[in-house]
A = this chain, B = another copy of it.
Amino acid sequence: MMKVKVYITLRESVLDPQGSAVRTSLHALTYNEVQDVRIGKYMELTLSKTEEDVDARIKEMCEKLLANTVIEDYRYEIEEVVSS
């Protein structure tokens, strides 16, 4: 079995209104040291063993469905899970 951690973030050039709203709220709670907040998605996928090229398949999944590649970047980490 494999666990894949996928991180999807807005591109630097894209405005992040949600992040700005969170920053404003943090300032209202007196956390003024917070200069910037960028919010993205974090996904954990559990995959069964497969003969396919896992890296290529994950890349395809990100490109086709998980990330909107027009405005988002993605990166992922693949971990082998030793089932007990």
Contacts and interface: CB of A to CB of B under 8 A. Distances in A.
Contacts of A42: 7-9, 39-42
A12 B48 CA distance: 19
Contacts of A36: 44-46
A71 interface: no
A31 B66 CA distance: 12
Contacts of A1: 35
A29 interface: yes
A15 interface: no
Interface of A: 1, 7-9, 19, 22, 25-26, 29, 31, 33-50, 52, 57, 60-61, 64-66
